[in-house]
Amino acid sequence: MKKLIALVLSLMLIVCSMAALAESKGTLVMATNASFPPYEYYEGTEIVGIDVEIAAAIAQKLGYDFEVADMEFDAIISAVNSGKANFGMAGMTVTEERLLSVDFSTSYATGVQVVIVREGSSITSVGDLFAEGAMHTIGVQLTTTGDLYTTWDLEDNGLAVINRYPNGNEAVLALKAGKVDCVVIDNEPAKAYVAANEGLVILPTEYVTENYAACFAKGDPLLAEFNAALEELIADGTVAAIIEKYIPVEE
């Protein structure tokens, strides 16, 4: 009898541990740069935001555990390509150049490059940056599309000087301190930075509209799985609800 109980108990143990194993297929690590509210930012010691919640929902749907790795924006693509992270999600714009080194998921949001200036600035529209002899000093986050576009459109044509900062927050602090004349950055973080710093405004004219997507090492089979889950979460309204939670629709 005792032997039977012992056998049943050990069988139960084996079944339980198999169930525990089956419950998680492993951990998905998302590389990001958490200075980009409302997509990814710190709330105390925790990284929260639209990208984090969408990625967590995808991982859960697929049966993976989920972790976020914070790094410089500039380091995300190499983290993905070296296998340090399974994918990158960072309000990252799909561009032709990036498509040479990574694959992108289905797009889940759009962004717009906008210009932040100090109140009363002589720069009143995007066009002012292109004026002949303008030579403004523009702050950007290193290797973001804000950096790439202003470099190609303005610096390469001798129309501006670009100051590159490791994150958007430092670019905005440089603007406040008068070290740059404006900052070119994505619209949603721009709104968050302007709300958190007095004396700054966003110009009403938009510079470039773009699509955000998650990036993967080229040929990674995880992408198909990820896309299937993401597309379901888009179709059932989960993605819209997460975005709406962080970006309430303006009336």
Q: Which residue ranges make up the site for ligand ARG (CB under 6 A)? A: 32-33, 35-36, 40, 73, 90-93, 111, 141, 144-145, 186
User: Quick one: which of 56, 237, 193 has its CA closest to 47?
Assistant: 56
Q: How far is the CB of 251 from ligand ARG (least distance, A)?
A: 26
Q: Of the two residues 59 and 184, which places its CB atom closer to ligand ARG in the complex?
A: 184
Instruction: CB nearer to ligand ARG: give 35 or 150.
Output: 35
The three-state secondary structure class of 36 is strand
Inter-helix orientation angle 222-235/50-62, to 10°: 110
Report the nearest approach of ligand ARG to the CB of residue 133 (Å).
28
CB closer to ligand ARG, 33 vs 150: 33
The DSSP annotation for 11-24 comes to: HHHHHHHHHHHHH-
Q: Which residues, 6 or more positions from 221, have their beta carbon under 8 angstroms from its beta carbon?
A: none
Residue 35 burial (10 A CB sphere; 0-12, 13-18, 19+) = buried
Between 36 and 64, name the residue whose CB sits nearer to ligand ARG.
Answer: 36
Smallest gap from Cβ 203 to ligand ARG, in A, equals: 18
Residue of 152, 146, 139 whose CA lies nearest to 91: 146
Q: How far is the CB of 89 from ligand ARG (least distance, A)?
A: 9
Shortest separation between residue 205's beta carbon and ligand ARG, angstroms:
18
Between 13 and 112, name the residue whose CB sits nearer to ligand ARG: 112
